[in-house]
Structure 1
Amino acid sequence: MAYLHKSISGQAIQLPVGKVVCVGRNYVDHVKELGNEVPDNPLLFMKPATSLCDVNDPILLPSDTLGSCHNELEVAILIQSPLKNASQNECLAAIYGVGLALDLTLRDLQAKLKSKGLPWERAKAFDGACPVSGFLEIENVPDLQNLEFSLQINQQLRQQGNTSLMIWDVVSLLSQISEIFTLLPGDIVLTGTPKGVGPLYADDELSLNLHDHFSLNSKVLGEK
């Protein structure tokens, strides 16, 4: 079934499905976890609309011949109006809502590509590489910079973060992104992942939680 933006209650959101702009290395603990340097500016990359799928549906992993596929839980921001060279106030007004997403990453393949100075798209932008939840309307989110979120796998805590720990906060990210990529209605911005990334396996049971707002479950079925 083709992906559609939905509210957290499952109702269709009347916005087109656009690109996904991702922010790498936005939590210091994750930067250290992978042995990377803290960037001077937000590290940006994109996933196409075809990477989007509903996280409530079973997750299908790429063939294991491509190496391990890691979870990266992130707060997702759904855009409802165009942003180009936008102020922080304009960015805040352009947010439709907040959800959670998994930036699925073929870690072995990514490492190989990085070692050769090549782009990451093969490791980050494959079909189904961005399972995403429904979105909670922004008026129901009192503080974007105090959102606690977590991922449990097989009832064991894998990742836990809070947006207060971001290197660049949400509206600053949107403003800086809009200086490079025009953000359009229906685009999604992934705001970075905390430490705790690791491989997913067939039959893993996942619980995604945006604390005080919603929780949902998913399952890894295996290879495509």
Structure 2
Amino acid sequence: MRQIVLDTETTGLNPRTGDRVIEVGCVEIFNRKLTGNNFHRYINPERDSDEAALAVHGLTTEFLRDKPKFAEIAEELREFVQGAQVIIHNAPFDLGFLNAEFTRLGLPPFSTYCAGVIDTLVQAKELHPGKRNSLDALCDRYEVSNAHRKLHGALLDSELLADVYLSMTRGQNSLTMDVAAETNAGGELVEAGPLGEIIVVAASHEEEAAHELVLAGLDKNVKGSCIWRNFSPAGVTAA
């Protein structure tokens, strides 16, 4: 599967009031491996950045003045993400800006070129409810070094997010019932063969009787029916 981790920097917070994209950074992942095939462009937004935004990314009007306009990099960006699953931290923000840039050029929204979007902020909130889930916080949590991150940068943040995403989802591809692949002595991939039969060992009559005694003791302590009665299958006896 081809995935693209994407981040942008902008002149402000709202594309509806004229704020523009000034940097796009993309990092390619293929089958959960970083490929090194990245996309990075600075963009002349044809306007100044807000002071608050400038303090975050440090990209001055002077620095961006000789950079290409978005219209000049739109086709490159579209081709790079075409058909890939795109991974973004706080996706509505970046997609809102990119969709606005593409619409301004009379093109379909940026998101229509993507095979799907994963929002790592949503994922992180589900995995770590009630905790800070900024990119910096996730770097600390997953031990991804961000010591070199003094200012926000689209490519740097995409590289950090790629490492965070791979760490955050590390166990997912092993929790399947698919037939595994092994390597033979010559290093060639071979099928591991069908999964073995799952054997269920039923409790003996003595074990069931002992279990019932434990439940009865719990019933007495709570002066009623203990909660574990809800998980005891009625009418099931050992074979």
TM range, normalised to the smaller chain? Answer: under 0.3
* TM-score normalised by length of structure 2: 0.24
* TM-score normalised by length of structure 1: 0.26
Structure showing greater radius of gyration is: 2
In proportion to residue count, which structure has more strand?
A: 1
If asked which structure has higher relative contact order (CA below 8 Å, sep 6+), I would say: 1
In proportion to residue count, which structure has more helix?
A: 2
